[in-house]
Structure 1
């Protein structure tokens, strides 16, 4: 559907520098102008009133948070953030908006849809191979991608099965649920679709001591990241922008 309304990038990273860099990554990947992709810091501010009337869709970034953390360890900001992300996911599942949740966000959507997220499916930091399922090859957003491509991951939790009522679109052996769709307007990816290899290594530096990889392995992992070709994931974001954002077709 054609629209003049912008998309909204929703930041769920407490680290301001990493959040600003992630927004720039989404701008580059979608090829949208800043006026076409607004940004909102959900860590520090609740969703504004009438947010669903103002924006045609939402792009949810990654986060060092994990939904599998014990509730007792979550602060008020994280609990509020999870509640507000579920609001977005519920609206998209009901086709009242469009949304693409990435990395941490896929856990929010999976739990909301009645699926199971656990620490049994982590992936090492760096490039991984992603394979589209048959449904993925026919999907409006992912169907234009290569059936097998490289993406960048770094996460401590994941899922063995797509949640009830959703359609599995992409997979790999290490973490079986790499992407799925619920309805026509709610998408979730475990991999990061937005960063270039340089973006990703700069993000790695921010989270060097956060347990995603051994700190002294940074140089070796960064070398593998820089050697990878990650052209396909950004194409997914461009298609999302054309389909649901101000770059959408008439």
Structure 2
């Protein structure tokens, strides 16, 4: 089997934790998930022929930032060109949180901070199209997932198919064509994963530092049965080659 590729922009420890959570919920071995840290410049080209599919993780960048560092500019230029190639080739791709911002802006949608959400568990509702989508096979019409984002997709690209929605942030998941997916929520996070990330991001502006202990407690009492993880395992099973 060709490996999947995880593209990341997080700091080293957060990147390691993200890799492990993505790998675990894809349900693949370490040999079947390669990780590339995009902030390690220069960025090497990606030959899609070497992979079964691409996962773009979350990270500290916001695609809608007005002022961007040279590193962020280079990363997003690379990702924009990759999204173009993914779409042209109809190559399997799923972007998580930051990924929805990158894809939305590249394909002509709107990203801003109107529907930002604090760190917590939300209820996600599938649309009729989502209920019929193979990546959501076995996922209930309503399920819980963790969120925490400073920006969101306010208007999807014109040809996007809305697959899942939320009350505070309407666009939670959509598909472009047949194989390009993005989520606003985090299908890779369970309570322990989120608690680890909360500790690492204590001073990253997602919450006040004095809220950290309560947020960790809330994560463990949110009672997520794990339906959100099926999106990643379905992605791996569908596209492994």
Same fold (TM > 0.5): yes
Say whether the 8 Å CA contact 2:100–2:153 is kept in structure 1: no
Q: CA separation of 1:65/1:124 partners in 2, compared to 1, >3 Å: closer, same or farther?
A: same
**1:31 has 2:27 as partner:** yes
192-201 or 43-52, larger mean C-alpha shift: 43-52
Q: CA separation of 1:154/1:50 partners in 2, compared to 1, >3 Å: closer, same or farther?
A: closer
Q: State the Cα deviation string for residues 94-151 of structure 1 (Å, max 9, x = none).
A: 2442110000110000011100001111001011110001110011111431110000
**1:10 has 2:7 as partner:** yes
Residue 183 of structure 1 deviates from its aligned partner by 0.6
Aligned residues: 240
The 3-state SS of whatever aligns with 1:117 is strand
Counterpart CA distance in 1 for 2:30 and 2:94 is 18
Counterpart CA distance in 2 for 1:181 and 1:48 is 27
Counterpart CA distance in 2 for 1:105 and 1:230 is 24
Q: State the Cα deviation string for residues 167-198 of structure 1 (Å, max 9, x = none).
A: 00000111111000001110000001102211
Counterpart CA distance in 1 for 2:177 and 2:212 is 39
Structure 2, unaligned stretches of length 5 or more?
none
Counterpart CA distance in 1 for 2:46 and 2:79 is 15
Say whether the 8 Å CA contact 1:131–1:170 is kept in structure 2: yes
Say whether the 8 Å CA contact 1:9–1:60 is kept in structure 2: yes
Q: CA separation of 1:177/1:151 partners in 2, compared to 1, >3 Å: closer, same or farther?
A: same
Counterpart CA distance in 2 for 1:161 and 1:116 is 5
Say whether the 8 Å CA contact 1:95–1:184 is kept in structure 2: no
Counterpart CA distance in 1 for 2:97 and 2:145 is 12
The 3-state SS of whatever aligns with 2:118 is strand
Cα root mean square deviation, aligned: 1.3
- Give me the TM-score of the superposition, normalised by structure 1: 0.92
The aligned residue for residue 227 of structure 2 is 232
Counterpart CA distance in 1 for 2:203 and 2:92 is 35
**1:137 has 2:137 as partner:** no
Counterpart CA distance in 1 for 2:82 and 2:73 is 15
The 3-state SS of whatever aligns with 1:44 is coil
**1:63 has 2:59 as partner:** yes
Say whether the 8 Å CA contact 2:90–2:178 is kept in structure 1: no
**1:166 has 2:160 as partner:** yes
Residue 48 of structure 1 deviates from its aligned partner by 2.9
Residue 35 of structure 1 deviates from its aligned partner by 1.0
The aligned residue for residue 51 of structure 1 is 47
The 3-state SS of whatever aligns with 2:110 is coil
- Give me the TM-score of the superposition, normalised by structure 2: 0.95
Say whether the 8 Å CA contact 2:150–2:206 is kept in structure 1: yes
The aligned residue for residue 101 of structure 1 is 95
